[in-house]
Amino acid sequence: MAPMRVVVLVSGGGTNLQSLLDAGWTGALGAAEIVGVISNKPGVRALERAAAAGVAARVVDHRGFAERAAFDSALKAEVQSLGADLVVLAGFMRVLTETFLAGFEDRVINIHPSLLPAFPGVKAQAQALHYGVKITGCTVHFVDAGLDSGAIISQAAVPVLDDDTEESLQARILAEEHRLLPAAVADLAAGRVRREGRRVHRVL
């Protein structure tokens, strides 16, 4: 059986992308293969990581488009040109619209640094510290047209320590993201995940 073709969308440093690339090298991605990386910003470290791994690296600069829908259309065309079966948002700092998502139902996932539905959007770690929660974490979820509102695939909990700063909490959450995201991609490629409405079931 042909591997699941995965395209990763990025905006920055690409440490979650690196976790996926590393998992591919070790076989931990199972039946998934990273076939392309697309950034909405030129010159970011994630593009260098892709190039170093021999993976197609492209840029669709959102600043070149007057409307979000036009950007999403161009981005979708690039993703489709790579033959993507699954799209992974790994530090991709744009909210995708229905223009992109139509036709990709249950084939776009995101990693977010909180236990959703708590603390959606940006600066989730700062939000956790502000509200004084004792446990936060990270979530892999299907992407819909809302803000971090899609059905949850998997989560990992991280304790919030009394002396935590935003940076120290971010580092511990990120370590869990690097474990959780490749595992979720491998599960999807193996058909071990099935969504029914808001609920996601694991198939043994």
Active-site residue numbers?
A: 112
DSSP-derived 3-state class of residue 149: coil
- Residue 155, judged by CB atoms within 10 A of its CB (0-12, 13-18, 19+), counts as middle
For 78, the token pair is 């690039």
> Considering only CA atoms, which of 123, 120, 85 is closest in space to residue 8?
85
How many angstroms separate the Cα of 81 from the Cα of each of 51, 68, 69? 18, 20, 18
* Cβ pair 93, 11 in contact under 8 A: yes
Q: CA angle, corner 199, sides to 195 and 201, nearest 5?
A: 60
> What dihedral do alpha carbons 26, 28, 32, 34 form, nearest 10°?
-50
Give the strand pairing for 135-142 and 152-159: antiparallel
Q: CA angle, corner 170, sides to 59 and 139, nearest 5?
A: 75
